[in-house]
Amino acid sequence: MKDNNAKISNAIVRRLPRYRRYLAELKRQGVEKISSNELSSLIGYTASQIRQDLNTFGGFGQQGYGYSVDYLYEEINKILGLDREYKTVVVGVGNLGQAITNYTYYYKIGFNIVGLFDVNPRLIGLQFNGVTVQDSAVLGDYVRDNDIDIGIICVNREHAQDVADTLVEGGVEGIWNFAPVDLKIPEDVAIENVHLSESLHTLAFKIKNNSKNVEY
């Protein structure tokens, strides 16, 4: 794999998890090798796009052979940072927070939820997947004392920035933000925003413009 310090385009980064998902399915089916053309027919990207994306990181394929499914899957895991464990906390354990907690628990790929936090007295003390909900008042101390890597924010927009500030001060490496607000965080902390309403609005647009001629 290339040791490439050049900035990788966001578009390529967004495509990598899709490659990984299809490769995981191929592994389950016992497929050992696959060509870029075969990947193209499965994923929907052009073969040249797939080769170009993978060449960004070193290629991984052999002319006349294609790609080893196992090897490519493992290398994409490394590129995505899925070859390590991430100690994770969820802040806001309402319906959305519980759903994210359950999804992450059963996903079981490197993201270990070790802490749950909320301000609601009715939730504090409850357990989800063996983890007890704690008062958000102790979030900062917990993050610092337990070397937390990722904070998942599932609170309302009014409190999201305060939560983000607490997580950053505690030393997290990244934030997965489900609050419907753009957060201000330092450049050395990674953030991924998941604005569900924006996704729903995009769906409404696609329905309204129900045409294959519209490029998304």
Point out the domain boundary residue: 78, 113, 130. 78
What is the domain extent for residue 177? 86-198
Q: Identify whether residues 46 and 150 lie together within a single domain.
A: no
- pLDDT in 10s for each residue of the chain, 216 residues: 444 445 788 899 999 999 999 999 999 999 999 999 999 999 999 999 999 999 998 868 777 678 999 999 999 999 999 999 999 999 999 999 999 999 988 877 789 999 999 999 999 999 999 999 999 999 999 999 999 999 999 999 999 999 999 999 999 999 999 999 999 999 999 999 999 999 999 999 999 888 555 555
CATH number at residue 116: 3.40.50.720
Same domain, yes or no, for 65 and 112? no
Q: Which among 22, 60, 24, 58 is positioned nearest to 41, based on CA atoms? A: 22
Question: What's the pLDDT at 5?
Answer: 43
Task: Yes or no: say if 164 and 183 are a contact pair by the CB < 8 Å rule.
Answer: yes
33 by DSSP, 3-state: which? strand
pLDDT of res. 215: 56
Identify which of 9, 201, 167 has the alpha carbon closest to the alpha carbon of residue 175: 167
Kindly state whether residues 174 and 192 are assigned to the same domain.
Answer: yes
Give the C-alpha separation, 93 to 47, whole Å: 43
